[in-house]
Amino acid sequence: MRRLRANLLGVKRLNSVPVSAKKSLENEKFASYYIHYEKEGMVDWFIENKTDEDKYVSLYRGTVLKYDTIPFHILGSEFAEVYFAKNDSSFINSLGDLRLHALAVLDDGSHLQVGAVFYLPARSVIQIPEFCYKDMEQLIGEVLEVKYVGLDFYLVFYDYTEITDYGHEIFPPHDPYAVESLKFFIDKIGWMPTYRYIVPVKEFVHNKHNVITESNIIKNSL
């Protein structure tokens, strides 16, 4: 299944949504729009905060292509370790440092995932470029508000096929890697293009039943 590729270095704030943008979804707080460039296989997302309060959000999107269907998932989760390795985005340890976007741990109450979180000031618009939309037939993106939970130190195990799927020479983080990260609650995570096992280091260290196998998978020794 094809993975979408965000250009997080290209994220920027705009004064308004371009008139040529097509509306995707809207509610009382947020709206999402996009412009599709078929020749480049690219989409420019535009996410809007309609409220008078600053918000932290993630983009939850899915698409139907001519020869593939990509289920709904959080932008940034598809190549989080690649974005991290390339310095396209980073994990931060203070909410005050989240001025445009950052990678963060997201919790829907059942699963943890790494994804991109965006700082969306009151009455503002952010543009997010994304690739791999060649032969696109349908696209939906939903802006999800996320709620800050706290800061913790995590051990992240991830599927290394993410790196081989990217197809460019990079120096990815070890599998697993330890990182200090903000954590946010989110309503839904959806499909996991890269499966990750994420656990706070303090929980992993204090659980005597957890062992690391040769395949870097956490198993219970009972």
Residue type, 184: F
> Which segments of the chain have a pLDDT < 50?
211-222
Give residue-wise pLDDT tens across range 43-101: 999 999 999 999 999 999 999 999 999 999 999 999 999 999 999 999 999 999 999 99
Which class for 172: exposed (0-12), middle (13-18), buried (19 or more C-beta within 10 A)?
middle
Cα 11 to Cα 19: distance, rounded to the nearest angstrom? 19
Cα 161 to Cα 150: distance, rounded to the nearest angstrom? 30
User: Which two three-digit tokens encode residue 195?
Assistant: 């499966």
HEC-encoded secondary structure of the chain: CCCCEECHHHCEEECCCCCCCEEEEECCCEEEEEEEECCCCEEEEEEEECCCCCEEEEEEEEEEECCEEEEEEECCCCCHHHHHHCCCCCECCCHHHCCCEEEEEEECCCCEEEEEEEEECCCCEEEEEEECCCCEEEEEEEEEECEEEEEEEEEEEECCHHHHHHCCCCCCCCCCEEEEEEEEECCCCECCCCCEEEEEHHHHHHCCCEEECCCCCEEECC
User: Which two three-digit tokens encode residue 47?
Assistant: 């996410």
Domain edges within the chain:
5-220
Cα 24 to Cα 26: distance, rounded to the nearest angstrom? 7
pLDDT value, residue 202: 84
